[in-house]
Chain A
Amino acid sequence: MPLSPNKSRAGVLAAMLLLLAAGRAAADTPADFARRFDAEARKLDPGQGDASAARGERFFKDPHGGEWSCSSCHTANPLQTGRHATTGKTIAPLAPAANAGRFTSPAKVEKWFRRNCKDVLSRECTPAEKGDVLAYLRSLQ
């Protein structure tokens, strides 16, 4: 029996959706990370409000009682090239508007949040803090 036009169209649609899903898994966008941090934050605290760029900026520039803030390496203007606070090595800009490679790889984002939060706050950052930082970085144009 020949495939009905309806059925074959559904098949094409399913294939396209699959391709779309595969494409998204290969390269995430900053918006995907924003949604993920938001969902994680609400799971921990159902009363959690929306991410805030203003709170993210304060968090980013605050040394949190230690020696470094995020801006020590990423500058107080993350649209610009940063510099590692100890080694002096240049670090490409952190804001997605200035560096399209940022917030596209979950493994990379997780690894550096873990490391850098430990260096700055001596603990991991919470999903809400990550969401605020990302909202701040995405607000920069």
Chain B
Amino acid sequence: MSPARALALFALSGLVSLPAAADGHRYPVDNPAYRSECGSCHVPYPPALLPASSWDAVLAGLQDHFGTDATLEHAAAREIADFLRRNAGREPRTPAPQPMLRITGQRWFAREHDEIAPRVWNRPAVKSRANCGACHTGAEQGRYGEGELVVPK
């Protein structure tokens, strides 16, 4: 296999490539149940930014969700699972032994954010890589384009 072809396949794996957004860098997050149940402690993360296997794993562990209780009522759980699966990103070509639970743990995330110094992530106004809305001012609506970006001082 030529290096270029290997690289292309690697990029297709979804582990290193940023999932394509239909409309610039806008990803759908507009399901009301999803927004209210999964968008109050953090922004409603775009389903497209993790594969379905990861979303299933996130939903399976909601009683201890990154140290907090994010359990759902039965009806909401079904609707949200459907919404996430319908809009999920591509599965990695080589499945990981454990599904990745973090958008911020993927390689494409590190690459897209490689210009950001560690001290920037630690600024009080940012606090966490998972605080997308601190920099992406359209994150609440799923918009991550360059036009809506302010890195807090």
Contact = CB atoms under 8 A, between A and B. Distances in A.
Contacts of A89: 40-43, 131, 133
B41 A84 contact: yes
Contacts of A87: 41-42, 127-128, 130-131
A89 B129 CA distance: 11
A114 B133 contact: no
Interface in A88-141: 88-91, 114-115, 118-119
A6 interface: no
Contacts of A88: 125-128, 131, 134
A84 B68 CA distance: 12
Contacts of B41: 84, 86-87, 89
B67 interface: yes
Contacts of A118: 69
Q: How large is the interface on B (under 10, 10 to 19, 20 to 34, 35 or more residues)?
A: 10 to 19
A118 B67 CA distance: 11
Nearest to A90: B133
A115 B43 CA distance: 18
Nearest to B67: A86
Contacts of B70: 115
Interface in B50-74: 66-70
Contact of A86 (B69, B126, B128): B128
Which of A86, A89, A91, A118: most chain B Cβ within 10 A?
A89
Interface string A56-96: 00000000000000000000000000001011111100000
Interface of A: 84, 86-91, 114-115, 118-119
Given A86-B68, A88-B128, A89-B43, 9 more contacts: A86-B128, A88-B125, A88-B127, A88-B131, A88-B134, A89-B41, A90-B133, A91-B40, A119-B68
